[in-house]
A and B are shown apart, each in its own frame.
Chain A
Amino acid sequence: MSTYMAKRERYQNRIELLQGTLDLLVLQTLQWGPQHGYGIAQAIQAGSSDVLQVDTGSLYPALHRLEKQKWISATWKLSANKQRTRVYRLTAAGRRQLASERSRWQTLVDAMAGILARPQESQS
């Protein structure tokens, strides 16, 4: 799905999300309570200070994929301005998945940081 984003690139400051990263962000966002698709996109964008732009073409496949995995569940609700929206919430399995994803992400970040923080003496 990320390739779609690459093709339709329009914002210079946008960072392409790694495969699977969006799933983690969605789960993380839903940790704070049920939310609809638009809300999730907005929350990720705001949470990253507009660095991460969530492409709708990736978001909805991701939501439906997570739903199929039974990590999140969805119900139709009326929003504040009386609009019918599909609201997603984290399931118990989703919570466990989030925990394991987080620790894997942390391992990855530490590893990356370790490599990137090494002095760049070999270059000169």
Chain B
Amino acid sequence: MKKRDAELRDELKSHLDMAITDRIARGESPEEAVAAARRQFGNLSQIQEATRDVWGRRWLEHLAQDVRYALRTFRRNRAFALVAILSLTLGIGANTALFEVVDAVRLRSLPIADPGGLLEVRLASMDGARGAFHTPHESVTQPIWRELQARQQAFTLFAWSRASFNLAEGGEARPADGLWVSGEFFNALGLRPARGRLLSPEDDRTGCAPRAVLGYGFWQRHYGGDTSIVGRTINIRNRPIEIAGVAPPDFHGLEVGRTFDIALPLCAEAVLSVNGKGRSEAGTTWWLMTFGRLKPGWTLDRATAHLAAISPEIFRTSLPAGYPAISVEKYLAMKFIAEPGGQGLSQLREAYETPLWLLLGIAGLVLVIACANLANLLLARATAREREISVRLGLGASRGRVIRQLLTESLLLVTIGTICAVFLAGAMGRWLVAALETSNRTITLPLIINWRVLGFAVLLAVATCLLFGLAPAIRATGVSAASVLRVTTRGASAGRESVALRRGLVVVQIALSVALLFGSLLFTRTLRNVLSVDPGFRAEGLVVAEIDSARMRLESDRLVAHNDLISERVRSIPGVQGAATVAVVPISGNTGGNDVWPETNTSARFNTYVNFVGAGYFRMLGIPLIAGRDFDARDKPDSVAVVIVNEAFAAKLGGASAAIGQRITREQTPRNPAKTYEVVGVVKNSTYLALKDDPYPTMNYAGTQDQPYPDMQLMVRSSLPPTATTSAITAALANIDSRINVDYTIVPTMIRDTLVQERVLAALSAGFGALAAVLTMVGLYGLVAYSVTRRSTEIGVRMALGARGSDILRLILRETAFLLAIGVGVGVGLAIAGGHTASSLLFRVRPYDPITLLASIALLAAVAFGASYLPARRATRIEPVVALRTD
């Protein structure tokens, strides 16, 4: 390119030289000849331009020229370039990171063959389902699955469920993430093994000798990717299981956010269970999710009609004996539907989809604020470069060409910022995912920079560039060349229009900041409100031990003594202050519930949570007894069945003292007939499921009146650190029998883990809110400083005429107050609209909470006046003489 330019220049020069030589030869004087030849020749650079046009690489050349020029400008204004790139990197990076996570949990399809063709076949409603539920998602029982499988013809169908497999042989548990899968699972998903083979329908026969498929990550982690793994055995639930193969690397199951270590066929559930029957026979254990692909020749409409047609038959034949009469009709009316399932299921998605979109929106607004700042910076620079630009316009550059050049600068900033942002986004996304993890929930969420994420980043970059670059560029080139060149006074050419634009940008910043600060205050208050909820018991020092003695195969009479021995040994550990059995650990997420009514008044039926607790449970937790007595030695399996209820329950019976002695009937359940209990005690309300819940009726059965189970949950209060407590318990259990398995939950950690959403929202929104405030501060500072410079003559005159410093201060701050008033006016509207959107995520604070709103306005006003004060002070120190002389 350069060589060609030089050659063209040489060629044109030779032309001119020859013309001059000819003229001299014709007798003109050298001076005349040069002048005349030049005149005839015309404008050298214009000819060059016109000729280069013919070469046809003009835009590329212009771009290269513009980029070179922009880089030179950045080198001269390092601070500007650095601030711009940094804020773009942070702004675009935060947005891309959030989008990456949204993409991973919401938008992306499963890494399987033809994810679009995968359908979920699920119950339209779980209304008629009674019994035990192993997943929050719609699920079916084993008998329903068998009927569905036998009767449907439209799908290649499979069932699966999540599981936890203990790999330890006695002692403390080593849980692995597991999957139960029916025979068609891997085949229908179109997966190929990384090693060995995957499970097939032959592996899933009742009474099978189970074979395992390992997850790729587990194979790498635990076996170092050992290639001789196929055919070896792994101990699962104390049973050696042959390894059939390894699943492909990117397959993590159908649950987004979770992975699996080991997959076993459904038939293994019964084989590995303590009683050898497992959940298979129970028509009241809801645990299987069913997915499938349409067989050739079937359409979704036909398949849906088919499912509707076979549903009544499925539920008639699968109705378990002794199903609660009140629910039979609803059970028989249940119906299967088919829905797209290519994105899998995700508890993560259900819990965090709304907060993630909200955070993405917040991050977007912060980016807009950052853009406004950059636009302001560019406008300021454009004012400073007014002369340069008007000279270039005057020398014949077209306005479009100059705009293109100014936009190239913006584009270059954005390009550099976006490249940095994409790298930053990966780290930020991983950090966000890690922040959502809890002690018992590891999140496996591959964050991939795919075309969607990249497209989002590029789109953001282009929008950003236009947002902050275009207006200043158009503004800058709008000045007439003559006016600028004629007027020599500093700053006089900066028209009112430019100032209005800059003020507008600052108003936008203020408005958005008010909304963002309001949002972050709402979430912070929500977190504080949840944290300050009194659960009604003391959580510190509490540890739950899940103790499983199933391998000892004790008869129930010996089991009672065995469990008592365990409790006794644990209580005698130094530092342990108490231990009591409990069926449902509060705030663990597990629940049990039934309808109850006073024995003589069936119409006063109401719903209650239920629990089984041992003697001393309430005392140990610090839940005060209000009336009656605690469970004690009187409560034997054959004595009168008793319950202790909470205040909310007692309120239904006419208050605490009235409740004592009343007889309460619990409805028939799938496993038990209706039964009547006597209320012997009332305790204060305490949290059962979630800190956010209002008090709800709760009924506690006496643990000693329950049938003994080989697996018991022991709640332990100890003054030792949790790890010391757990290792002491493990040692005590090993002393009793080496076949006892145990797993622990630290209660304070468990409770803290339930507040991840509130924590993340509060932290991120506060971060974004603070960022917004800082950016607005910078924007306002820049504007006021500029305005002081622009009005220095006016201020000088005023001071010369006797204005005092405080008058000038007021003059300058009045502008801030004006902008603040407009910005806050708009911002309050935005804030209330935003609060309304987020209302489902708030706790004990109204989405339009006036005090919070006032606080955010006050906060921003402080920021605004703080930002304006410095330049305003500078204005008061202007020397009238100096200010007037500069003109």
Contact = CB atoms under 8 A, between A and B. Distances in A.
Interface stretch (A53-61, A96-104, A108-116): A53-61
B14 A68 contact: no
Contacts of B40: 56
Interface in A29-46: 36-39, 41-42
Contact of A8 (B21, B42, B51): B42
Q: Closest 4 A-B residue pairs measured CB to CB?
A: A38-B18, A64-B54, A86-B11, A38-B15
A60 B51 contact: yes
Given A1-B50, A4-B50, A86-B7, A64 B14 contact: no
B12 interface: yes
B28 to A, nearest CB: 16
B275 interface: no
Given A56-B42, A57-B42, A68-B55, 7 more contacts: A56-B41, A57-B47, A61-B54, A64-B51, A64-B54, A83-B18, A86-B7
Contacts, number: 63
Of A1, A36, A57, chain B has the most CB atoms within 10 Å of the CB of A57
A37 B50 contact: no
Contacts of B10: 84, 86
B6 to A, nearest CB: 12
Contact of A68 (B8, B22, B54): B54
Contacts of A55: 42
Contacts of A61: 47, 50-51, 53-54
A55 B47 CA distance: 10
Q: How large is the interface on B (under 10, 10 to 19, 20 to 34, 35 or more residues)?
A: 20 to 34
27 contacts: A4-B46, A10-B39, A36-B18, A38-B18, A38-B19, A41-B15, A56-B12, A56-B41, A56-B42, A57-B47, A60-B8, A60-B51, A61-B50, A61-B51, A64-B51, A68-B54, A68-B55, A79-B14, A79-B18, A83-B17, A84-B10, A84-B14, A85-B11, A86-B7, A86-B10, A86-B11, A86-B14
Interface in B17-47: 17-19, 21-22, 39-43, 46-47
B14 A81 contact: no
A65 interface: yes
A82 to B, nearest CB: 11
A24 to B, nearest CB: 17
Interface string A60-98: 110011001000000000010101111000000000000
Contacts of A36: 14-15, 18
Contact of B47 (A42, A60, A81, A85): A60
Pick from B8, B19, B46, B54 the residue with the most CB of A within 10 Å. B54
A41 B11 CA distance: 14
B738 to A, nearest CB: 90
Contacts of B46: 4, 57
A98 B14 CA distance: 27
A37 B55 contact: no
Interface of B: 7-8, 10-12, 14-15, 17-19, 21-22, 39-43, 46-47, 50-51, 53-56
Contacts of A8: 42
Contacts of A84: 10, 14
Contacts of B14: 36, 38, 79, 83-86
B54 A37 contact: no
Chain A interface, DSSP helix/strand/loop, else mixed: helix
Q: Which of B7, B21, B42 has the most CB of A within 10 A?
A: B42
Mostly, the B contact residues are helix
A22 to B, nearest CB: 13
Contacts of A1: 50
A37 B47 contact: no
A42 B19 CA distance: 9
B584 to A, nearest CB: 85
A58 B54 CA distance: 11
Contact of A57 (B8, B11, B43, B55): B43
A36 B19 CA distance: 12
B50 to A, nearest CB: 5
A10 B14 CA distance: 23
Nearest to B39: A10
Contact of A65 (B7, B21, B54): B54
A37 B10 CA distance: 12
A10 B7 CA distance: 29
Contacts of B11: 37, 60, 85-86
Q: Residue among A38, A55, A68 with the most chain B CB within 10 A?
A: A38
B7 A60 contact: no
A42 to B, nearest CB: 8
Interface string A1-36: 100100010100000000000000000000000001
A58 B53 CA distance: 12
A38 B18 CA distance: 7
Contacts of A65: 54
Nearest to B43: A57
A64 B19 contact: no
Contacts of B7: 86
B15 A56 contact: yes
A84 B14 CA distance: 7
Contacts of A79: 14, 18
A42 B40 CA distance: 13
A65 B795 CA distance: 62
Contacts of A41: 15
Contacts of B22: 42
B634 to A, nearest CB: 108
Contacts of B12: 56, 60
Contacts of A4: 46, 50
Nearest to A41: B15
B705 to A, nearest CB: 100
A91 B14 CA distance: 23
A37 to B, nearest CB: 5
Contacts of A86: 7, 10-11, 14
A10 B40 CA distance: 9
B50 A60 contact: yes
